[in-house]
Amino acid sequence: MVESVRKRSERALGAGPLAEEWVARDARVLSPSYTRSYPFVMGHGLGSEVWDVDGRRYIDFNAGIAVTTTGHCHPDIVRAIQEQATRFIHMSGTDFYYPLEIELAEQLDRLAPGTGGHQSFLCNSGAEAVEAALKLARYTTRRPRFLAFIGAFHGRTMGALSLTASKAVQRRGFAPLMAEVSHVPYAYCYRCAYHLEYPSCGIACVSFIEDTLFRHMVPADEVAAIFVEPIQGEGGYVVPPPEFLPRLRELADRYGILFIDDEIQAGIGRTGKMFAIEHWGVVPDVIAVAKGLASGVPLGAAIARRELMTWVPGSHGNTFGGNPLACAAALETLRLVESEYMAHAAAMGELLIGRLREMQGRYEQFGDVRGIGLMVGVELVRDRRSRQEAPELRDAIVQRAFERGLLLLGCGSSAVRFCPALNIPQPLLEEGLDLFEEAVQAALAD
Ligand SMILES: Cc1ncc(COP(=O)(O)O)c(C=O)c1O
């Protein structure tokens, strides 16, 4: 390991005095529902490096949970926001026109898979994009029901939460949720709900929907839409096998059900393609995006095939959606991602997954290493034979990484996720991976 890394990692060592003060103030006035894994208090950031309020440097492998696509404070993004801020900051796209919003929707129309054109509903967050997709699906099909997957995360507003089935704590205490949502197992082959093996399973998780759910419980002609993440995010960075999404698309087509692709975490170049679903050659009816779309300025979109956008003026809208600062940041983000960073993410993803697979050879506790591009997860287990989940080990690794100057987050019950900025420089990625391995060794020695 390079000497400079060791010096820095010795300096990081957890929260400093200013950070501790802020954490105490936070606890008094901010909602206790937030889930902070460790006391990192951001001072400033640049690219994939961040400094806390005590001036301690960290490598950022989270990118604000897959949000700062272009790294922190990319000069082109900052310039775009600043220039727009001198013209106007808000006008309300629901009630007035402005070129930036139209230009962004034109880009989304061009980039979204499929021919025939797309129209976008712009909003402020992932959950709001999912809400828009839910409402549009009901409106345009006039059907009441939805399908979603166990392990899915689609957001926390009441409609989106009804689709979410990631952790029980996210739902406990909030019932009744929206009725008529059925959840079925996702293609989580490492822990198949049917205890089958891929490929001899015949993709039982899709046939179950038709053979069991539709026959016994859910009339298919009442289903408006299937919501699916092309790679489950909060559920554990779970990559489905090649047949899963195409088979789901065929099933949806057979019954006139809309295929709604939640790209909120996987989209905008993160997997080396603009939308992750493109890896499977599937064309969705509606795509929900948010997170990485505007490099950190809040913005979401429900992008639908044009003929599905049947709703009339007044049927859906909002105040802040398509905010001009966010649109300016999004246009620059899409330009950078398309021209350069998407390819870089694919190349860095190869390096990342390669290094993690090498480590898998050294550590029995690396049960599964999976991902595409810069959306990669390592599922920790007690041992590879039992595949028993090891959440304490995962949490210890995340903690030890923080103490060494690396910001990581978990996902699923027992996985660590890697979702750095798409433009992370190779030396920083490698430095972070060295710190990660040190953290693994420290956690195993605990
Ligand atoms: C796949 C997916 N959908 C929806 C959401 C909700 O987005 P937001 O937190 O912006 O409401 C998230 C957030 O993590 C997500 O990962």
- Cβ(331)–Cβ(103) below 8 Å: yes
**Alpha helix ranges (H) inside 240-305:** 244-254
Looking at ligand 1, which residue's alpha carbon is closest to its atom 3? 154
Task: Give the model's pLDDT for residue 12.
Answer: 60
d(CA 90, CA 321): 10
Mutate to test the pocket of ligand 1, among 123, 124, 149, 154 (most ligand atoms within 8 A of CB): 154
**Which string of DSSP letters, residue by residue, matches 333-384?**
HHHHIIIIIHHHHHHHHHHHHHHHHHHHHH-TTEEEEEEETTEEEEEEBS-T
Task: Give the model's pLDDT for residue 96.
Answer: 96
Task: Give the model's pLDDT for residue 14.
Answer: 79
Q: Which atom of ligand 1 is nearest to 156's Cα? A: 11
Going from the Cα of 211 to the center of ligand 1, the distance in angstroms, rounded, reads 31
Mutate to test the pocket of ligand 1, among 163, 231, 270, 291 (most ligand atoms within 8 A of CB): 291
Helices (H) and strands (E) in the chain, counts: 13, 15
Going from the Cα of 216 to the center of ligand 1, the distance in angstroms, rounded, reads 31
Cβ-based neighbour number of residue 125 at 10 Å: 20
Question: Within 6 Å (CB) of ligand 1, which residues are found?
Answer: 65, 125-127, 130, 153-155, 229, 233-234, 262, 264-265, 290
Task: Give the model's pLDDT for residue 29.
Answer: 98
For residue 301, list its beta bridge partners. Answer: 122, 289
d(CA 384, CA 259): 35
- The four Cα atoms 111, 114, 118, 120 give a dihedral, to 10 degrees, of -60
Given this chain, do its domains 3-73+341-445 and 76-337 carry the same CATH topology? no
- Cβ(14)–Cβ(37) below 8 Å: no
Task: Give the model's pLDDT for residue 311.
Answer: 98
Q: Which atom of ligand 1 is nearest to 300's Cα? A: 10
d(CA 292, CA 263): 10
Spans of the chain, pLDDT less than 70 = 1-12
For residue 238, list its beta bridge partners. Answer: 232
| Domain spanning 76-337: CATH 3.40.640.10 | yes
In tens, the pLDDT along 167-187 reads 999 999 999 999 999 999 999
Report, in angstroms and rounded to the nearest whole number, the Rg of the chain calculated over CA atoms.
22
Going from the Cα of 234 to the center of ligand 1, the distance in angstroms, rounded, reads 8
d(CA 303, CA 290): 11
Q: Where are the domains of the chain?
A: 3-73+341-445, 76-337
- 345-382 per-residue burial string, b: 16 or more CB within 10 A, e: under 16: bbebbeebbebbeebbeebebbbbbbbbbbbbbbbbbb
- Cβ(376)–Cβ(418) below 8 Å: yes
306 CB burial (10 A radius; 0-12, 13-18, 19+): exposed
Pick the CATH number of 3-73+341-445 from 3.40.190.10, 3.90.950.10, 3.90.1150.10, 3.40.50.740: 3.90.1150.10
Bond preceding residue 176 cis, omega within 30 of 0: yes
Residues with Cβ < 8 Å from 29, sequence gap 6 or more? none
In tens, the pLDDT along 226-268 reads 999 999 999 999 999 999 999 999 999 999 999 999 999 999 9
